[in-house]
Chains A and B, each alone.
Chain A
Amino acid sequence: MNTKLLSLSSTNTSQTTILSTVGLVDYTLLSISLSGVTERLLPTHLSINWGDGKTDFFENDILQIGNIVSNIFSSILIDTYSHEYFPSSVSTSQTLTATFSLYYVNSDISTFTLPLSITNYDYTTSVGDVQLVNTNYLQNDRKIHQLVTDEGGYLVELLT
């Protein structure tokens, strides 16, 4: 699994930010930090649409006194949010848009739009060599071959 860390920032509470496209390669853990986002007013909550059909919602806990960092009270500006992006199963690349919406107590909303381009590894990079570890003979002359990939050590099966 690859990893990618992005940091978001803003200067006012009703800011709409469209970030430039971030390229992810294959199976990637994307981590987002909001430590640069303004706390001029207190946020109420954070809503994340990861763009692949998954959404998350986080309340802002301002009572985590032990977690106060650099005079930031809001847990949602201190915590880091992670999501796993999987490569497309039908194409070699895909384009998604993740959206981070930060709601403030005065009803302002700061929105961060993050276009993502996820490219699949090619066969050599994602699989490499395979090693045959087992074959099951089935009825009607069918066989299931069990192979272990060099990359990632996955057991994959082929039906022949």
Chain B
Amino acid sequence: MRFQKFSRYFNGGYNLTFYNALSGIVDVKNKNYTNFILTRNTNISNILENEDQTLKSESLLTNLNFSDNFLTFQKADARILALSGIYNQSEYYGNYNFTTNGDTLSTNFVITLKSDNVCNIYQYFDYAKYYLTRNANNELNFYTQNLGLTAYDFKYIYSRPNKAIFLFQTLSGIPHFIKKTGNFLTLSPSTSANKASVYVNPIYLSKDIYSDFDINPNTSYVEYGDDNNIPKNGILKDLENNYLLHRENDSTDIIVLKNQLSQYNTFTSGNTLLSSQELKFFVDGMRNYTSICNDINTEKDETLALNYVFYNKPYEIIPGLNRFTAPDNMSPFNRININDTKFVESGAFGYPTPEYADKVFRFDDSVSYDDGQTYLCTWLSGSPLGGDKVWVDRYYYPDLIEKSLALAGDNTFNLTYDDVVEKLVAGNTSIKDSLSSFTVFDKKSDMLFVPNGKYTYERIKAEETINENNLVVVTPCQSLATTGNNINYFKQLNDAGKFTVKFYFDGNEQNWKFRSKRNNTNGGLIIEKIGGNLVFTMDLYNPGFVETITFSETVKYKPSQRNFICFSIDTVVGQLYFFLNNQIVGYYTFDKYQFYGKQMIFGDFVLDDVDFFTQKTLSKIGLTSEYTSENLAFITPILDGESVIDPLTVTLPCGMRNSTDTVEYLQSVCNNQAYKSNFVNIFIKNIDLVDSDMEGLRTRITSEIVDRSPLTTEINNLTIP
């Protein structure tokens, strides 16, 4: 890599060289006989010389797509040629038509690209090249060059973003472009008046004429989706950084500094106005480096400290309760609503009820409430599986509902909330009064972060106590809990018309078969582990029609890891799903009430014909006579303590503050600060060379060390074992 530079020549016969990297430098310091230069905040492509990144093809094998009709080569019909009086040269004639399949040999043509946007197109067939050529009647068809026709070169216009080409030939001084008319290729005049008709007749290619070699050295922020692929909007390119240039002797190192990281060295989104563009992420401009601190703290100090300013104070949120105090200065804001923060972009966890959603509480004694309702919390409403999320305030009526039930209540906040609705409610007494019939209600959050405000952030973690809404029920229905009898509990499940079963298993090599026992009737649930696959099967038997409806899915589990399975069915609504680890792998619907009141399963669950509550292969078994939402299935491993939600780093604007970053730099023989002496001893260890080479190394070091060590340094002794 070379730095961009230019020189200026001045009267007097001298010149100065100006490096782009050294323009507008922030700081320059010297430490331990080496130079450190802190550059301005810029793209690295602005300071390094760029290489040519695009190559043009000389020829291209591609299909030619005319609005999903692909040009297809054909051999000319010899009998028709014979009728035209052509008997001997039929092998020189080709033909074409159009098909909808562009993946065949006959739909792939070679485009030869020449200079000045000239090209020709041919099909290689039966050891001959058939060129798309204009004949003496100004018609286009395929011919070999043996016929002596000459009009097989076309001028072309190429639209790279669309991989589309436009082909032209000039007839009688007027350029004509190729278009598809019916099943024929025709030449139409291209004039000033009808140029619009050209661009509506593109010929799409299957390949790009150009190839890019992406050697862009600029910083990029890349986000991976749940499927481990990078989504199209998951890349933020060309981010600006400060760079620390370290110069020692004739070489320069470039150290890219961490302008996109929070003060905790984590990626998160912030309210930095400088970066608040129309972007998906808000990681840019989190730091701005301002100076090099070269204080020597100790005699052995080899650390370089860099001062930077940041604008967003980070807070690490771990699962459970987190208490924090907002910054004493939130410039450029006086206060900020929670929906204007970047908590969601940073990874806040949403859920349809506040029970498991991320919640924020503000300690505030000054707020008074009327109408008897009490503010409960501010929570993030939305699905953990994606979609929009919004922070809402939950209110409840202590006289009507207990606090724990108020937390578990389904959200009454509509995500399509609109301020107009709020005004309508506030202005209409009857509607306002009717709201009091609700025991809980939500509204778009009014929570403000104010300077020095005290807050508690609660994030989902493993359940310490088991409640009735939790899937962690190790009892096989109520019968075991009340009577200790876990026989024939399947009847209770059938009576309820819905049930959920979940458990964990290890991704080892053991095969097993989990199923509901069955009689001669072909019905019930089977989950079978065979090799690397899991096979889910749910047979619903309909006695009215003496038929079985089968829902089945085969998926791969995670080998060598602990896996989570959840199955849930609701015959009232008519839905069931298979859930593996963190996603639904099969979701089905059937007619409402079609199977309600009928038997879903015909016996208790067994694993390899053993009561599955007594075996050791599956663990943390849960069974309820309730349907479990997809969202609850998703968080069940977290509640079970089998997985932990990631810690979260959120930020609040904090004006401009200073912090320090450090660079550990291992010094060479340049200094001997340990003893404040200018005499140094050199010991070379762990080197395996033959004696002759060892002697050469000694000579080389002793002769060159003088030129490379500081002026005041003297080599006292060189020891090579």
Chain A interface residues toward B at CB < 8 A? 26-27, 39-45, 59-65, 73, 86-92, 103-107, 120-123, 126-127, 133-134, 136-139, 146, 148, 152-156
CB within 8 Å for A88 and B9 given contacts A59-B158, A137-B711: yes
| Chain A residues closer than 8 Å to B17, beta-carbon distance | 156
Interface string of B1-40 (1 = CB under 8 A from A): 0000011111100011111001111001110010101000
| Chain B residues closer than 8 Å to A62, beta-carbon distance | 157, 159, 166, 198-199
A142 to chain B, nearest CB (A): 9
Of A88, A107, A121, A138, which contacts B711 at CB under 8 A?
A138
Of A44, A87, A105, which contacts B8 at CB under 8 A?
A87
CB within 8 Å for A89 and B8 given contacts A73-B199, A152-B18: yes
- Docked Cα-Cα span, A106 to B706, in Å, equals 70
- Docked Cα-Cα span, A105 to B173, in Å, equals 11
Q: Could you say which of B189-197, B265-273, B660-668 contacts chain A?
A: B189-197
Instruction: List the B residue with the shortest CB-CB distance to A41.
Output: B175
| Chain B residues closer than 8 Å to A59, beta-carbon distance | 117, 157-160
For chain B, residues 144 to 201, give those with C-beta under 8 angstroms from any C-beta of chain A. 155-162, 164, 166, 168, 170, 173-175, 177, 190-192, 195-196, 198-199
Of B23, B173, B174, which contacts A152 at CB under 8 A?
B23
B399: CB under 8 A from chain A? Answer: no
Q: Chain B interface secondary structure, helix, strand, loop or mixed? A: strand
Q: Is the CB of A153 within 8 A of B28?
A: no
- Docked Cα-Cα span, A36 to B276, in Å, equals 37
Q: Is the CB of B199 within 8 A of A89?
A: no
* Residue among B9, B29, B157 with most chain A CB within 10 A: B157
Q: Is the CB of B195 within 8 A of A134?
A: no
B79 to chain A, nearest CB (A): 38
Interface string of B590-605 (1 = CB under 8 A from A): 0000000000000000
| Chain B residues closer than 8 Å to A120, beta-carbon distance | 8-10
B691: CB under 8 A from chain A? Answer: no
| Chain A residues closer than 8 Å to B35, beta-carbon distance | 134, 136, 146
- Total residue contacts A-B, CB cutoff 8 A: 141
Q: Is the CB of B19 within 8 A of A154?
A: yes
| Chain B residues closer than 8 Å to A45, beta-carbon distance | 116-117, 157
| Chain B residues closer than 8 Å to A92, beta-carbon distance | 9-11
- Docked Cα-Cα span, A40 to B194, in Å, equals 10
Q: Chain A interface secondary structure, helix, strand, loop or mixed? A: loop
Q: Is the CB of A156 within 8 A of B24?
A: no
- Docked Cα-Cα span, A59 to B24, in Å, equals 36
B707: CB under 8 A from chain A? Answer: yes
Sample 26 A-B pairs with CB under 8 A, ordered by A number.
A40-B192, A42-B166, A44-B157, A45-B116, A45-B157, A59-B117, A62-B157, A62-B159, A63-B164, A63-B199, A88-B9, A105-B155, A106-B168, A106-B170, A121-B8, A122-B10, A126-B8, A134-B29, A134-B30, A139-B707, A153-B24, A153-B25, A154-B19, A154-B22, A155-B22, A156-B17
- Docked Cα-Cα span, A120 to B6, in Å, equals 12
Q: Is the CB of A63 within 8 A of B159?
A: yes
Q: Is the CB of B198 within 8 A of A42?
A: yes
* Residue among B22, B28, B173, B706 with most chain A CB within 10 A: B22
Q: Is the CB of A42 within 8 A of B195?
A: yes
B250 to chain A, nearest CB (A): 12
For chain B, residues 267 to 291, give those with C-beta under 8 angstroms from any C-beta of chain A. none
- Docked Cα-Cα span, A104 to B117, in Å, equals 10
B314: CB under 8 A from chain A? Answer: no
- Docked Cα-Cα span, A89 to B18, in Å, equals 11
Of A60, A89, A107, A156, which contacts B9 at CB under 8 A?
A89
A123 to chain B, nearest CB (A): 5
A86 to chain B, nearest CB (A): 4
| Chain A residues closer than 8 Å to B476, beta-carbon distance | none
For chain B, residues 703 to 721, give those with C-beta under 8 angstroms from any C-beta of chain A. 706-707, 710-711
Q: Given contact pairs A61-B161, A103-B117, A105-B175, enumerate 11 new A-B contacts (beta carbons under 8 Å).
A: A41-B192, A45-B116, A45-B117, A62-B166, A106-B173, A133-B28, A136-B33, A137-B710, A139-B707, A155-B19, A156-B17
| Chain A residues closer than 8 Å to B24, beta-carbon distance | 152-153
Q: Is the CB of B117 within 8 A of A41?
A: no
- Docked Cα-Cα span, A101 to B191, in Å, equals 21
B202: CB under 8 A from chain A? Answer: yes
Instruction: List the B residue with the shortest CB-CB distance to A158.
Output: B16
Q: Is the CB of B199 within 8 A of A65?
A: yes
| Chain B residues closer than 8 Å to A40, beta-carbon distance | 191-192
B670 to chain A, nearest CB (A): 12
Q: Is the CB of A89 within 8 A of B25?
A: no
| Chain B residues closer than 8 Å to A88, beta-carbon distance | 9
- Docked Cα-Cα span, A100 to B191, in Å, equals 23
Q: Is the CB of B168 within 8 A of A90?
A: no
Q: Is the CB of B11 within 8 A of A103?
A: no
- Docked Cα-Cα span, A136 to B30, in Å, equals 8
Interface string of B62-94 (1 = CB under 8 A from A): 000000000000000000000000000000000
